[in-house]
Amino acid sequence: MINGRVLVIAGSDCSGGAGLEADQKVLAAHGCYAMTATTALTAQNTMGVKGIHVIPADFVEKQIQACIEDVGVDVIKTGMLAAADTIEMIARQVEKHNVTSLVVDPVMVSTSGAQLLPHEAIQQLSKHLLPITTVLTPNIPEATLILSENGYCELAQKQILSVSDIESMGRQIQALGPKWVLVKGGHLPFRFDMTIAKAENEKEVVVDVLLGPEGQVFRVQSPYQSSTSTHGTGCSLASAIAAGMAKGIDVPASVRSACRYIEAGIRSAPKLGNGNGPLDHFH
């Protein structure tokens, strides 16, 4: 049985750990029907990105139209968008087809340091896509880039961030338009505030902060796992959220369940490749 149609607009990772390949595995694992519009081909593996071939925006547009006009779509999820004109085109398509559920993972730079979105395209992302986004899932470096490009410099430049700083960053990003913002704390292996740290036996935790349209604030806590199997975790998390939404689950519950899915996927990751390998998508 198919539980919702999800169109992923993103780049391909030929080694299967991130990008469209990861997205499709996550959506299959959640029982959803996955469609893809490819924005770029990458030649990469667990060691890094060897090359990027960007697909012209008008051909990405043809793929999006082919999917939506025939099969239809419940949720669109975007990942690596590769080019500024692709971003503008996606915003036009989302509006044209009245798509009301849009999950945007603002992919900018890979863990290995490859530029997956030209820096100047952050303006287009902010201007065209953020105002129509349902759930935006930046990590701390992405949140920092979005904020500094939009003139919010104070928190963007702060070296050590607390959980409430992350909340404030999320709120500032929300002012740019997204209904829900999930700021992912995985890049800051910090300690949570002392009361919770003690209750948790001083174990290190990662805190993701979800901010909602009516001022809701949810903190989702996961044990910090020191692991090299984190390639594609951002793509996989956003796809798991999109899967929940495609099944009609509300955003906070979709986010919580997606965080648990990623936590378990890192724990049971296969040993693949010689570098930063993928998590386990089927568990």
Residues that are catalytic: 184, 230, 232-235
- Work out how close the CB of 225 gets to ligand PLP at its nearest, in angstroms, rounded to a whole number: 15
Residue 264 tokens, joined: 């378990």
CB 138 within 8 A of CB 106: yes
The span of 57-65, 107-115, 153-161, 202-210 binding ligand PLP (CB under 6 A) equals 107-115
Q: What is the DSSP secondary structure assignment for residue 32, as one 8-state letter?
A: P
Taking only Cα atoms into account, the Rg of the chain, rounded to an integer number of angstroms, comes to 18
Among 29, 73, 107, 262, binds ligand PLP (CB under 6 A): 107
Q: In this complex, which beta carbon is closest to ligand PLP, that of residue 65 or of residue 111?
A: 111
The span of 110-118, 178-186, 216-224, 260-268 binding ligand PLP (CB under 6 A) equals 110-118
- Work out how close the CB of 71 gets to ligand PLP at its nearest, in angstroms, rounded to a whole number: 23
Determine, following the binding rule CB under 6 A, whether residue 240 of this chain makes contact with ligand PLP: no
- Work out how close the CB of 61 gets to ligand PLP at its nearest, in angstroms, rounded to a whole number: 19
Closest CA to 105 of 89, 94, 117, 114: 117
Among 29, 34, 80, 102, binds ligand PLP (CB under 6 A): 80
Closest CA to 89 of 55, 47, 136: 55
Determine, following the binding rule CB under 6 A, whether residue 265 of this chain makes contact with ligand PLP: no
Closest CA to 46 of 75, 14, 74: 14
Sheet with 102-104, edge to edge strand ranges = 48-54, 33-45, 5-13, 75-78, 102-104, 135-136, 180-183, 205-211, 217-223
Q: In this complex, which beta carbon is closest to ligand PLP, that of residue 212 or of residue 273?
A: 273
Q: In this complex, which beta carbon is closest to ligand PLP, that of residue 124 or of residue 276?
A: 276
The 111-140 site mask, x for binding ligand PLP (CB under 6 A), equals x----x------------------------
Q: In this complex, which beta carbon is closest to ligand PLP, that of residue 252 or of residue 273?
A: 273
Determine, following the binding rule CB under 6 A, whether residue 234 of this chain makes contact with ligand PLP: yes
Distance (Å, whole) CA 260 – CA 242: 15
Burial class (CB in 10 A: 0-12, 13-18, 19+), 51: exposed
The 18-37 site mask, x for binding ligand PLP (CB under 6 A), equals xx------------------
Q: In this complex, which beta carbon is closest to ligand PLP, that of residue 18 or of residue 91?
A: 18
Residues 161-200 that bind ligand PLP (CB under 6 A): none
Q: Please provide the distance, in angstroms rounded to a whole number, between the alpha carbons at the two ends of the chain.
A: 19
Closest CA to 17 of 283, 268, 277: 277
Closest CA to 97 of 211, 9, 24: 9
Residues that bind ligand PLP (CB under 6 A): 10-11, 13, 18-19, 42, 79-80, 107, 110-111, 116, 231-235, 276
